[in-house]
Amino acid sequence: MTLLRTPAPTEATGRTAEIFQQAQNTFGHLSTAMQLYALSPAALDNQWQFIRYYMQHPTLSFALLAMIRLLVSQDNHCPYCITLNTRLLMERAGLSPEQLAASRDNPDNAPLTEKERALLKLVLRATRNTGDIKSQDIDTLHTLGWNDADILDAVLHGARNVAADIVFNTFQVTSD
């Protein structure tokens, strides 16, 4: 449910119907969030391309991306994204409630590699204070093996999640 009247999946036509079917096939259900995006077919198409790109990302792991979304959404107090990413991290990444609680308390506790935790913490700093990142921060990530494209993709992922949190909170998107 949302404050806006979203189209029923059975009412979708054209590209929207295609994306709904692809999302249904990929996730096993059609989320409230995807139905909200369908109010703007261009936004829905853009969001679906974004999701598919990150699902197939060659270097940013599922666990890292979900942890970015979880911790960014925690900062933005977005219940929808917190619930979704908690569930994903438990079901698909095998994290326990205790691991998630520890991660939410301190990203240094996230059950990721040292390399992934460093990138996670940079993304969190960037989404909290855009002017906080310095060249030495990027150098540190390079030393750990991240390239510029990976760093950009991770920050873009976190920044886009901030936007989603704003939209979902504004229109009171409820958990599926």
Which two structure tokens, joined as six digits, stand for 133? 């990142």
Average pLDDT over residues 10-31: 94
- Single out the residue of 14, 47, 13, 46 nearest to residue 33, CA to CA: 47
Average pLDDT over residues 24-47: 95
| 56 Cβ contact list (under 8 Å, min separation 6) | none
pLDDT tens-place string over residues 92-129:
999 999 999 999 999 999 999 999 999 999 999 999 99
Residue 6 binned pLDDT confidence (cut-offs 50, 70, 90): very high
pLDDT of residue 1: 86
Cα torsion 108, 168, 22, 58 to 10°: value is -30
Average pLDDT value for the chain: 97
pLDDT of residue 175: 86
Average pLDDT over residues 29-40: 95
Architecture of the domain made up of 62-170: Up-down Bundle (1.20)
pLDDT of residue 14: 95
For residue 61, what are the CA distances in angstroms to 34, 44, 80, 88?
Answer: 23, 24, 22, 13
Average pLDDT over residues 19-28: 95
Q: State percent of the chain over pLDDT 90.
A: 97
Which two structure tokens, joined as six digits, stand for 137? 């921060």
pLDDT of residue 7: 83
> Where are the domain boundaries for CATH 1.20.1290.10 in the chain?
62-170
pLDDT of residue 144: 98
Q: State percent of the chain over pLDDT 70.
A: 100
pTM of the model: 0.95
